[in-house]
Copies of this chain bind each other. A is one copy, B any other.
Amino acid sequence: MTVERATRHFQEELEGLQARLLEMGGLAEERVRMAVHGLVTRDTTLIDTVMLGDELINELHIEIDGRCFTLLALHQPMATDLRSIVAAVKINTDLERVGDLAVNIAEAARRYTNHAPVKKLIDIPQMGDIAQAMLRDALDSFVRRDTGLAHQVLNEDDRLDALKTQVFRELLTYMLDDPSTVEPALDLILVSRHLERIGDHATNIAEDVIFMVSALDVRHHSSNVDEG
């Protein structure tokens, strides 16, 4: 294989890896959407679908990990490419945890449907929308190497935290006033914390992107042996 062919082959593999990460991100995002929608509409069938269907994400997780290892072992990439693949390993882990959190949301939603609704669910779906958008933007920033977009993701995290605090305060009032709301309110608090953690995973991804791109800049201006 000529050097050009090897390079082209590597770039194709790298693009394949990115495509699979985007696919996994889309799947994780969709499952978060379903879990929150199931909670809001009290749709136990939808909730059960999320609770039972985690295999596809877990399979993708293993496949993507394998792709990263193969790329590292066979192509021994340097500099930018190396950092992209190590970032992919980390992002893959974050996306798998997001899949787990969708299941956690579904579990809390399932319990919630056993009680009368505590309150109108407006802020929690809003948190869900923000968390999903953060995930999407974080993955886009990875593929496009766009640190501007990655920084936007970091800013969005503050909005999510503020909503979580607001939800918590409101639910605490209900719990203090009426003990019959304690159990369902606890589940809503858990859901809002799961959504906040999804935002944290999007934040991790955005931070990896910033490191991946800015480390490149830093090393670009020095005579580091690491340059490929």
Q: A176 near B182 (CB under 8 angstroms)? A: yes
Chain B residues with Cβ below 8 Å from A74 are 225-226
Chain A residues packing against B (C-beta within 8 Å): 68-70, 72-74, 76, 78-79, 82-83, 86, 89-90, 93, 172, 175-177, 179, 182-183, 186, 189, 204, 225-226, 228
A90 contacts which of B93, B172, B175 (Cβ < 8 Å)?
B93
Chain B residues with Cβ below 8 Å from A93 are 90, 93, 204
Chain B residues with Cβ below 8 Å from A177 are 179
19 cross-chain CB contacts under 8 A:
A69-B83, A72-B82, A73-B78, A73-B226, A73-B228, A74-B226, A89-B89, A90-B93, A93-B204, A172-B182, A172-B183, A172-B186, A175-B175, A175-B179, A175-B182, A176-B182, A177-B179, A186-B186, A186-B189
Can you add 6 more A-B contacts, CB < 8 Å, to A179-B179, A182-B182? A68-B86, A69-B82, A73-B78, A73-B79, A74-B225, A172-B182
A189–B185 alpha-carbon span in the complex (Å): 13
Q: A86 near B89 (CB under 8 angstroms)? A: yes
A80–B9 alpha-carbon span in the complex (Å): 24
Chain B residues with Cβ below 8 Å from A89 are 86, 89-90
Chain B residues with Cβ below 8 Å from A226 are 69-70, 73-74
Whether A72 contacts B86 in the complex (CB less than 8 A), given A182-B175, A182-B182, comes out as: yes
A166, chain B: closest CB distance, angstroms: 16
A68–B175 alpha-carbon span in the complex (Å): 48
Please, which residue of chain B has its CB at the minimum distance from the CB of A197? B197
A189–B182 alpha-carbon span in the complex (Å): 13
A86 contacts which of B69, B78, B204, B225 (Cβ < 8 Å)?
B69
